[in-house]
Amino acid sequence: MTVSAPATTTRTIDLPHGPAVTVQEFGENRDGTAVLVLHGGAGPGSMAGFAAELARHAHVVVPTHPGFDGTSRPEGVDTIADLASVYLDLIDELGLDGVLVIGSSVGGWIAAEMGLRDTRRRISALALLGATGITPEPPLAIANPAELGPARTLELSFHNPALRPDPASFSEEQRSAVAANQRTLAVYAGDPFCHDPKLRSRLHRVTVPVLVLAGEQDGIVPLEYGRALADSFPHAVFHPVPEAGHFPHIEQPGVVLAALADFVATDVKPDGE
């Protein structure tokens, strides 16, 4: 039987205690639970296909970080911690509970910070894809797209060359949008780039189950960094993804979806609730 594609809507939500946030919603909110999907520096478009697949099983919300894709960023919203607070407010505003937060790259860092601040216990679990946040132990390092340039960044991001966008084919508008997104990324996670030296020592306070997925051929965030990130949580599963770079959900969506399903069944809802 063919499963129909989930309905998709986009709207801007004015949060009572924060900025306006543009969100794309996939599927229907039937029971108040949801999956919150947080993009990295590549922007919300890098999560759209994956979110649509997730929406065959759950209500999915994909916010655009303020300042990305032409949205406005208020002056007071300029750190990863700020974004974590914004999205906890968003969960409250939408009346969601039992939320699985999935974060890609710097979105994974935001997810971890949300786990630390979730005093209302609305989050049920975290899933981190090629995530950043903790300080890399030398010789490990997180590659900075601003230093690499678009072509080299994409080369390191994808294992399969056929899936790499070609920067040479970008229109002037597309190049400007990519550059603007990178400037916004630098505001949120620029110095030190994509990590907080104090984060690792705080992650023991995250009490929900955590799944860390890492592409084995990720040239942006090394595989062993993902393993160290998983080791920083008290209840984490580390899952390497073969033949995948920095976007395992794009290169190996079936593997990632299967890992998520197993994680939910085994660690999040072991009694089938």
Residue 261 confidence (pLDDT): 96
pLDDT at 137 over 50: yes
State which fold the 8-268 domain adopts: Rossmann fold (3.40.50)
249-257 LR contacts (CB < 8 Å, sep 24+): 249/47, 249/50, 249/104, 249/129, 250/46, 250/49, 250/50, 250/158, 250/163, 251/158, 251/159, 251/160, 251/163, 251/215, 252/215, 253/49, 253/50, 253/53, 256/50, 256/129, 256/213, 257/53, 257/54
pLDDT band at 2 (very low <50, low <70, confident <90, very high): very low
pLDDT grade for 4, boundaries at 50, 70 and 90:
low
- What is the per-residue pLDDT across 22-80, written as a single tens digit (0 to 9) for each? 999 998 888 889 999 999 999 999 999 999 999 999 999 999 999 999 999 999 999 99
- Sequential DSSP letters for 218-236: -SSS-HHHHHHHHHTSSSE
Q: Higher pLDDT residue, 3 or 218?
A: 218
Q: State the burial class of residue 2 (Cβ atoms within 10 Å of its Cβ: 0-12, 13-18, 19+).
A: exposed
Six-digit token pair at 5?
A: 């594609």
Please report which residue ranges of the chain form alpha helices under DSSP H.
Answer: 45-54, 80-94, 106-117, 145-148, 150-157, 172-189, 223-231, 248-251, 253-263
pTM of the prediction? 0.96
In this structure, are residues 174 and 168 in contact, taking their beta carbons and an 8 Å threshold?
Answer: no
3-class DSSP assignment, residue 141: coil
Provide, rounded to the nearest whole percent, the portion of the chain with pLDDT above 90. Answer: 91
Domain borders along the chain are: 8-268
3-state percent helix, strand, coil for the chain, nearest multiple of 5: 40, 20, 40
